[in-house]
Amino acid sequence: MSRFLESCKCIEAPMCLHKEGFFYLLNETVREFHPNLKNVHCPKEVLKKEKAESLHVSIDKSNHRLRMYGSLEELSENITIYKNFPGNSQYFGLSGEPYQTNPIIYKSLKNDEKYIVKPDLFVIFQNMITLLPGGNLMEIILRVVPFLKRRHASVQKTTEFVKFDEKRIEEIYKKMDEKFNKIVLVIKGGLRSKIFIALKCFKKICIFLNIIAKNFFNNP
């Protein structure tokens, strides 16, 4: 089950790190954070950079002002802890980006039963997709994220906890994996473009996720 509780590193984007850092850092130092963002001509060039590389560039070019936050590893860890809460995409203005958090599991003080806030279930659904077969799934993830965010909007106004049923989550992933494998078998060996394959998978996954959302959240 732990495999669904940690977001894949492939969805981490320095552009998101940049926005999260704005909220974490003091106003006096925030302009020193990731200065190369201001000069890059294509945002995609920044998105390709690794998280550690982005922080390293920021610290090196900050004229020592960011050293007050510790080493590269310490700053990275502290921002990760700071940003990890349900609904952070709305708070940081990342509504169009993949979920950047790890779901949090809460234990009841009465009986040790596990609970999770509803928005974090969408993060789990995203993490499921990153574990599906087929190599690089970023094209599919970027198409599924808007679907998840729309469903997310229906539960974000209130903080509601639901029982974290690990068995049910595993069953959902198993069904998703089966459907995805059927698609892979159909298109395997064909001369179809990657875009067509991604759209085909996206259509099937969204149909399945829609069924999950209706059953799981009891929303129309």
Q: Cβ of 86: how many Cβ atoms within 10 Å?
A: 23
Tracing tokens 């999770």 back to the chain, one arrives at 116
107-122 pLDDT, tens digit per residue, is 998 888 999 998 898 8
Tell me the per-residue pLDDT of 13-48, one tens digit each, with 9 for 90 and over.
666 777 788 888 887 776 666 544 444 333 344 444
Separation of alpha carbons 66 and 80, rounded Å? 16
Q: Could you tell me how many residues make up the chain?
A: 220
Encoding tokens for residue 100? 């950047």
User: Residue 200 CB: number of other CB atoms within 10 A?
Assistant: 15
Does the global pTM surpass 0.95?
no
- Region of 84 (left: φ > 0; alpha: ψ -120 to 50; beta: rest) is beta
Q: What are the structural domain ranges in the chain?
A: 10-83, 106-217
- CA nearest neighbour of 100 among 204, 212, 195, 14: 14
Chain segment 129-164, per-residue pLDDT in tens: 888 776 556 667 777 788 788 878 777 777 888 888
